[in-house]
Amino acid sequence: MSATGTCTLRKPGARNRVRVAVEAVAQARPRGRRWTDVFERPAFLASLLISPAVVFIAALVAAPLTAPHFLATAKWAMASVIAVHAWRLIPFAVVIFLAGLASIPKEVDDAAAIDGATGLRKFASVTLPLQLPIATVALLFGIVFTATDMAVVYILTQGGPPPSFSTEMITTWSYKTGVESGSLGPGAAISLALLPVLAIVSIAMLVFARRREVT
């Protein structure tokens, strides 16, 4: 959060994770204390600061399993990659949603309370419509981060397991073709294929968010 009150959204790196975590804790001002706060913030900070791929691999090394072989079978390898990506992106989405909840005017809550809206009805009629554009942006960031980051897949499976290579991504395919095989031209062409796909997805989601925006 800058001095002017604007929030800069970046892909969480090593320094960014620490900065975002500190700002999230500093900005969080819950209405009253709850016993669950003792567990919520440590869980949030742990998943934001600790590298998800390292945690997953360390867990398998510390408690090796005879079956199923999570990274050696097509079905479980994909599930493992999805779980690690979720661990990585959920804290980032939490920061966005916290900022969105903080931006809801108090007058809107007061008006809903006067109209008798409480609990689930208030969430469905007030909170959810106001959060829908923010949820769309969070989903868009998640798609872009996942599609352009090859680190998780390469560390866990390197696009495998063979022969199906069920976790292969465009980024890992481009790296193998351009760097490992030395074919820089085809590797660059493969990576450029992401550009139109992400552009179309981004435009479609932003148009959807604009149409559903509550004014």
What beta strand segments (E) does 20-98 contain?
A: none
Say if CB 103 and CB 97 are below 8 A apart: no
**Sole residue written with tokens 């599609």:** 147
Question: Please, which pLDDT band fits residue 200 given cuts at 50, 70 and 90?
Answer: very high
Sorted by sequence, the CB contacts under 8 Å of residue 74 that are 6+ apart come out as 161, 164, 166
Asked if the model's pLDDT at residue 99 lies above 60, the reply is yes
Least confident of 52-56, 134-138, 176-180: 52-56
pLDDT (average), residues 72-93 = 86
At 12, which amino acid appears?
P
pLDDT (average), residues 154-164 = 84
Within 10 angstroms of residue 116's Cβ, the number of other Cβ atoms is 8
pLDDT (0 to 100) of residue 6: 45
Domains and CATH numbers, the chain: 14-211 (1.10.3720.10)
The pTM score is 0.63
Per-residue pLDDT of 104-156, as tens digits, reads 888 888 888 888 877 788 888 888 888 888 888 888 888 988 888 888 888 88
pLDDT (0 to 100) of residue 53: 64
